[in-house]
């Protein structure tokens, strides 16, 4: 089975919001990503609306023909947006207003009833319910218990360690490998419970291959690295190169 790539286009909107203007258009970005072969488009509507705006979600819903995945906090305001616009999937994420980016997985165990209500609301509306969590068995079990259909495993730590892995002997290399094993075990466990396993956060052309070799991971959500590369090579090429990096990894 092909491992899917959803391109997170938040940072196209980050550039637009830097001037509060109309360009670059995230609609054009979504279309280019789809034409380049992306399996879906991911956006994160944050409480502070630092990049994606409410209107973007409605417009993307009209334009995206592949798969629209919206990341959001599990609260009333956000769930109302999901119910009104009906993306194909919602990924519930934790949110801290002062963070630069999402800092880790959602603590499902610690917020069981709130997350359960959110999952129920999504599923009643026919929206596929995913939860972004750390690669931890207890969290995966909790996500399963409250009816999530997918877990997106947080790869932030793995990604951090790969940045420090300058040689195949360094500490970063070992820690990245340990984290890789943890993600592999988590994906296996999720699958054994009947959950679909996705992964994302901090992934790059350089570090995605080892994760793509894990057959239980069937989907990646990748943003910053693709949008960064697109500045130099164009979005179409940047997306194609990431699809290729995922494909090469999954052959191993
Ligand atoms: N998955 C989730 C749940 C995220 O919150 C993010 C960042 O918005 C991503 C994937 C994409 O991370 P990156 O931009 O580092 O590729």
- Domains located in the chain, CATH noted: 4-250 (3.20.20.70)
Report the percentage of the chain scoring pLDDT > 90. 89
At residue 167, the pLDDT reads 53
Place 1 in a pLDDT band, splitting at 50, 70 and 90.
confident
Say yes or no to pLDDT of 141 above 80. yes
pLDDT digits (tens, 9 = 90+) for 206-215: 999 999 999 9
Using the mean position of ligand 1's atoms as its centre, give its distance from the Cα of residue 202 in Å: 7
44 among known catalytic residues = yes
Tell me how far apart the alpha carbons of residues 143 and 177 are, in angstroms, rounded to a whole number. 25
Tell me the CA–centroid distance for residue 117 and ligand 1, in Å: 23
CA-nearest of 202, 197, 198 to 156 is 202
Does a cis peptide bond (omega within 30 degrees of 0) precede residue 24? yes
DSSP state of 110: G
Give pLDDT tens digits for 148-198.
999 999 999 999 999 865 555 666 788 999 999 999 999 999 999 999 999
| Whether 225 contacts 249, CB under 8 Å | no
What pTM was estimated for this model as a whole? 0.96
Predicted pLDDT at 168: 59
- 71 counts as catalytic: yes
């Amino acid at each position: 089975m092909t491992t899917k790539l959803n391109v997170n286009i938040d940072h196209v909107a980050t550039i637009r919001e830097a001037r509060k203007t109309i360009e670059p258009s995230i609609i054009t970005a979504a279309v280019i990503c789809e034409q380049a072969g992306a399996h879906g488009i991911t956006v994160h509507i944050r409480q502070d609306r630092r990049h994606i705006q409410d209107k973007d979600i409605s417009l993307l819903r009209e334009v995206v023909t592949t798969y629209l995945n919206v990341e959001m906090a599990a609260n009333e305001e956000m769930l109302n947006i999901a119910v009104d616009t009906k993306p194909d999937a919602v990924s519930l994420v934790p949110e801290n207003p002062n963070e630069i980016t999402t800092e880790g997985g959602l603590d499902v165990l610690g917020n069981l009833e709130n997350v359960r209500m959110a999952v129920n609301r999504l599923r009643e509306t026919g929206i596929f319910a995913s939860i972004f969590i750390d690669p931890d068995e207890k969290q995966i079990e909790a996500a399963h218990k409250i009816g999530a259909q997918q877990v997106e495993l947080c790869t932030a730590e793995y990604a951090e360690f790969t940045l420090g892995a300058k040689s195949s002997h360094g500490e970063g290399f070992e820690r990245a490998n340990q984290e890789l094993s943890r993600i592999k075990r988590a994906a296996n466990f999720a699958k054994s419970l009947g959950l679909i396993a996705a992964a994302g956060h901090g992934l790059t052309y350089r570090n995605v291959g080892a994760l793509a070799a894990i057959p239980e991971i069937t989907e990646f959500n990748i943003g910053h690295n693709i949008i960064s590369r697109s500045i130099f090579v164009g979005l179409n090429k940047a997306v194609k190169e990431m699809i290729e990096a995922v494909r090469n990894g999954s052959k191993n």
